[in-house]
Amino acid sequence: MWTLIWASPIPQRIRFFLWLVRHERLMTNSNRFARGLIDNPKCRGCLDGDETTLHLLRDCKLASIIWKAILPPSRNASFFSLPIRPWIISNLNTDSTMGENWNTVFAVTTWWLWKWQNKRCFEDPDFCQGQAAAFIKMQARHIIKAFADKSKHDHLPKRYGYGEVLVHWIPPTEN
Ligand SMILES: [Zn+2]
């Protein structure tokens, strides 16, 4: 799983974010509640259901509306029913039936759903990103292009400084 996240053509911050997702380490209301930090685990977006990681990133009505606008017609029938780990794995796999670059689009969508939920929590409870699906698709296009440009220039000596700087980092162990 870590290798899959690490190898995905996405910025480092989103890789680390997905690592937190996979380990259920996102500070969702459900996790805050379990730690005794707040007294209500409800979702900050829909106020209907506990804000677990999978609720926030997929099952919340605010999230599912966006997914339905982004998912290709060839989407897996199980997209809205898989548990979190198989959900991440099946969507990051490059042999996904969702089409080319789906792994990037998937990762970018989860990242923005998380960012927007935090905005609602800490800045503006009524925040609603206009044209959310179009915004995400545009963000994903930029990233896909950056990675395509980077691989075009990968044969050049590093001193030309193309692409993002990859800092050596040892991933944390499973536990
Ligand atoms: Zn919700």
- Over the stretch 149-168, which tens digit does the pLDDT of each residue have? 888 777 655 554 444 555 55
pLDDT given at position 168: 55
- Cβ(166)–Cβ(152) below 8 Å: no
Ligand 1 centroid to Cα of residue 170, in Å, is 34
Ligand 1 centroid to Cα of residue 16, in Å, is 23
Ligand 1 centroid to Cα of residue 156, in Å, is 47
Query: What is the pLDDT confidence band of residue 72, given thresholds at 50, 70 and 90?
Result: confident
Q: Which residues of 145-162 are buried (b: 16+ CB within 10 A; e: fewer)?
A: eebeeeeeeeeeeeeeee
96: left (phi > 0), else alpha (psi -120 to 50), else beta?
beta
Ligand 1 centroid to Cα of residue 54, in Å, is 10
Ligand 1 centroid to Cα of residue 142, in Å, is 28
pLDDT given at position 157: 56
pLDDT given at position 163: 47
Q: Please state the rounded mean pLDDT for residues 108-136.
A: 92
52 vs 19, 60, 69, 76, 139, CA distance in Å? 16, 10, 22, 22, 25
Residue 102 reports pLDDT greater than 80: yes
